[in-house]
């Protein structure tokens, strides 16, 4: 079982009033799911950016065709 923690945010009082008037018990679940999705998307974008940066910094190696040809010739 994973642990949880509280993350507090401030929202406009008019929005809070609308939420309260809607009397929908699923708000907490929906907000939690939205935050989880956004966090995963942003983390994925961050990792992709790091990978792209590392790829640009990498030295060019032999081509796949060259490696295959070399392997075949070695037999």
Q: Residue ranges per domain, the chain? A: 13-73
Q: Which two tokens stand for residue 75?
A: 């037999």
Question: Could you read off the pLDDT of 20-49 as tens digits, one per residue?
Answer: 999 888 999 999 999 999 999 999 999 999
pTM: 0.65
Alpha-carbon distance of 1 to 17, in angstroms, equals 34
- How many residues comprise the chain? 75
Contacts of 62 (CB under 8 A, 6+ apart): 70
């Amino acid at each position: 079982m994973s642990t949880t923690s509280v993350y507090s945010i401030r929202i406009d009082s008019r929005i809070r009033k609308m939420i309260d008037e809607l009397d929908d018990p699923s708000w907490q679940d929906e907000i939690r799911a939205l935050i989880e999705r956004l966090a995963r998307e942003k983390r994925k974008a961050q990792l992709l950016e790091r990978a792209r940066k590392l790829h640009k910094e990498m030295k060019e190696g032999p081509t796949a065709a060259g490696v295959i040809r070399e392997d075949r010739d070695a037999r």
